[in-house]
Amino acid sequence: MTETRQNNKHLHPVMLVGTGSDVGKSVICTALCRILWQDGYQPAPFKAQNMALNSYVTPEGLEIGRAQAVQAEAACIPCHTDMNPILLKPNSEHTTQVVVNGKPIGNRSAYEYFRKKGHEELSNIAHEAYDRLSRRYNPIVMEGAGSISEINLRDTDIVNMFMARYADANVILVADIDRGGVFASTYGSIMLQTPEDRKRIRGIIVNKFQGDIRLFEKGRSMMEDLCGVPVLGVVPMFHDIYIDEEDSVELTQKHHIMTEGKVQIAVVLMRHISNFTDFDTLERDARVNLFYTNNTRDIEKADIIILPGTKATLDDLLEIRRNGIAQAILHAHHSGKTIVGICGGYQMLGQTVSDPEGIEGSIHSLPGLGLLPIDTIMTTEKTTTRVEFEFEGGKCFGYEIHQGRSTTEKLILQEENCIGTYLHGFLDNEPVINFLLKDKELKTPTMSLEEFKNQQYDMLADHVRKYVNIDKLYEIMGL
């Protein structure tokens, strides 16, 4: 971990917004949190409203988006709901669970949520959280959501330029050059703003560049002339720095070629998969070849099959019955393969899953895979808590985020070659991993998860420092 020096100079808040979704705002925010911490400041992340199925539990036992938890970790501070006061967790294409200040307040349809009614109440929640955070930390690194050029949603916006105006934040626009059309998306994003908001955009970061960066020198000056805004940096795509992902967009690409001599681990790729970062530590283990799949032939080749967490257990359970994955898992279990279920995946491994009140949707009950002696009933109450537990004689940590109650109080349930647990982070623990891979000796020592994460945050900070004009960024922030 990099040494800090105390820096009491006040900096103006900065907000990173995007030309679209998945342009890299979260990762750049994470880098800035680390850089500011390295430079002696006490930064904190903030995103008024986040839409994600990958969430985390604060020390107080409340729920926030994973991205803000990661950014807080990079800033070396505990995560808090004030960093993400409103979290939307989609249940289906049309409905979403709304989490406010870490607690669910119910499900809403997309139309019901995004219409103007209720805008004032939600914006007040975001403003109050920001105010509390800004009194404790300096500076605040703010993150927008999706594209800032969705002008049809401007009246209901509480996360992008609306929030920047409230915080009086200077704005940096992040553009993804890898997807193409970077000039049009950058220029259009700026020109579609109101004159007042346009003035707030003080810099551009071109992200995910591939190839010889010198080839974009002319493009950089052309972009500055076109947009009238300085380009603070052109950041190359990286493949050797590991930061927890917020979205499951890239999971389908994690289908590795079978490698002889390694333990083949298949994570079932479900439509409503959540907290897929549960498998990052396993994926990095030298003994393992981990891949995501919804193909029965891949399941047959795996040594270990994992059913992950899901935001819609019954809907995904019905789907794996339809597509043959459930039958493939049962056949694999009968053949002696190891089956692991996490959270919603754990519920699926039981005898029945019931939702008599329709909390998840229209499916009221389904038989599970019958591999574990539990029955689950969905409830309105949500469990969010951090947990310390012992496994194979070792001290371990995890956290629960789930709705539903199962007919056992055991944190971990084992039956023959099947393991189920509600604990996210279960597979981050060395005793658990070594138990699963007991026939494979790890020849090289591994660093702890905390050491690894800090190494990655420092590498990310170095990468961004190299390609972004940090002095100019400090100038924009009022230094």
Taking 50 as the threshold, does the pLDDT of residue 5 lie above it? Answer: no
* pLDDT confidence bin for 1, thresholds 50/70/90: very low
Q: Which tokens sit at 67? A: 């991205």
Q: Are 201 and 224 in contact (CB under 8 A)?
A: no
**Res 149: pLDDT:** 94
* Topology (CATH) of 263-436: Rossmann fold (3.40.50)
**pLDDT (tens digit per residue) in 58-111:** 999 999 999 999 999 999 999 999 999 999 988 766 688 899 999 998 877 766
Sequence ranges of the domains in the chain: 14-242+455-476, 263-436
Same topology, domains 14-242+455-476 and 263-436? Answer is yes
* pLDDT confidence bin for 381, thresholds 50/70/90: confident
Which of 277, 269, 418, 421 is closest to 335 using CA atoms?
418
Query: Phi and psi for 207 in degrees, rounded to 5?
Result: -110, 160
Q: Which of 29, 343, 396, 418 is catalytic?
A: 343
343 a catalytic residue: yes
Taking 80 as the threshold, does the pLDDT of residue 257 lie above it? Answer: no
Q: What is the mean pLDDT of the chain?
A: 91
**Res 475: pLDDT:** 96
Rounded to whole angstroms, the maximal C-alpha distance in the chain is 67
Taking 70 as the threshold, does the pLDDT of residue 126 lie above it? Answer: yes
Q: Are 339 and 333 in contact (CB under 8 A)?
A: yes
Helices (H), 402-467: 430-436, 449-467
Q: Which tokens sit at 401? A: 């985020």
| Strands ordered across the beta sheet of 170-176 | 44-46, 140-143, 14-18, 170-176, 201-209, 231-236
29 a catalytic residue: no
**pLDDT (tens digit per residue) in 277-310:** 999 999 989 899 999 999 999 999 999 999 999 9
**354-367 average pLDDT score:** 90
Encoded amino acid at 26, one letter? S
Percent over 90 (pLDDT), the chain: 75
CATH class of 14-242+455-476: alpha beta
